[in-house]
Amino acid sequence: MNKFGFLVCIYMLIPFMLLAQKKGKYSTAINVATTFNYYSPIEKYSYSRQFNTSGNKLILQYLTSTSGTFKVQEGAKIIIDQENLIQMPSQLVGIGANIQILKGNIFQDITLTRLIGQKSSQIATYIYPDSLDRLSEIALGYEQQSFAIGTRYEFGGYFGDSKRSRFRFGLSGGIETTYYRFKHTPYTTREYPINTRLLIVEVALIPMLTAQLSKKITLDFKVIPNILVADFGSVQIERPDLPEHQRKIERAYDPPEINMAFSLLLRYNIKAAKRRKRSAG
C-alpha cells in the first residue's frame, strides 16, 4: 500500500475510533443481511509490442519438369506496433452477505461483497481440403475460467434515534479487498494463454440511508466510492519466446482512482440490544 492509501485509511477511520471510546448505555445487537451489490467494471490492462518484419517475394524465372531456377527477393522491412487490451471479467451485479455488530449508534460491518466462479468457452471448427485433397480440420476459439471473492470491513455510526424516526443517516469508513483469478486458454497456437492473479485493496468513506421496516427488519442503501490504493499481482502472457520479466503486464494508475459501487442490504435482527442498568451509588 502506498503512502496515499495509508493516509486515506487513517483519515477516514480516526473519527469512528474516537466515537467508539465513549461508553454506551446499550449492550451489543447483532444483525445479519442479504446484500445486493453493483460494481463498475475493472479498468483494462494494456500492453504494447513493437517488432520488425519483412516480406519475401518468390520470383520464378523458368521451370521445367526436371529442373528449374528461382530466386527470392526480400521485401522492405515493416514496423509493426501492436497494442493489446485485456478486459477482466467483472461481476456488475451480485448477491452477498453481511453481519453487523451494533452498540448504540456505533457499528462494525463485515460483508462478503463478491463470490463468483465462471467457466465459458467458444470454439469454431474449420474443415478444408489440403494439397492432397484430404480433409483437414482446425479449431479456433478459447476457454475462460474466472473466480472472484471480495470482503469489506466498515466502522461507522448512525445519526438520529431509530425509535423516533423510520429513517436514519449513517456514515462509515471501509476497507475492501478483492481477489481475482482469471485464465484464458486459446485453442490455436497463434495466440497465447493469459494467466491472472490479482489482489486489489480499496478504501471508501461510505454514506448510507437506513429505513426501519419493522421491529427486526431494516433496509440500508449505501453509496461506495472505492478509492484504489493497492494492486498486487499481475496479468501474465504465457509466451515461452519472451523472458520472464517481459511476460508480466501491470496496470499503471494515478491515485485517486475511484470505482463507484452501490449496495442494498436487507437486515434482520438476530440479537436485540438491551439497555444497561445504572450502577448504584
Residue ranges of domains in the chain: 3-20+28-43+91-271
Looking only at the bridges linking them, the beta strands covering 135-159 and 45-63 are unpaired
pLDDT band at 234 (very low <50, low <70, confident <90, very high): confident
Residue 1 confidence (pLDDT)? 44
> Is the Cβ–Cβ distance between 229 and 201 less than 8 Å?
yes
Q: Is 157 exposed, middle or buried (0-12, 13-18, 19+ CB in 10 A)?
A: middle
Percent of the chain past pLDDT 90, that is, above it, reads 28
For the record, the C-alpha cell of 243 comes out as: 523472458
Please give the grid coordinates belonging to residue 144.
475462460
Question: What average pLDDT does this structure show over 13-28?
Answer: 55
The SS3 assignment for 4 reads helix
Query: What does the alpha-carbon distance between residue 238 and residue 122 come to, in Å, rounded to a whole number?
Result: 20
Q: What's phi and psi for 280, nearest 5 deg?
A: -70, 150
Angstrom distances, CA of residue 178 to CA of 79, 114, 122: 40, 8, 27
What's the pTM? 0.71
Confidence of residue 83 (pLDDT cuts 50, 70, 90): low
Residue reference for cell 475493472: 42
Are 263 and 27 in contact by the 8 Å Cβ rule? The answer is no
State mean pLDDT over 42-57. Answer: 59
CATH topology of domain 3-20+28-43+91-271: Porin (2.40.160)
CA distance 224 to 109: 14
Does residue 202 register a pLDDT over 60?
yes
Residue that wins the pLDDT comparison between 241 and 96: 96
For residues 204 and 104, what is the distance between their CA atoms, to the nearest angstrom? 23
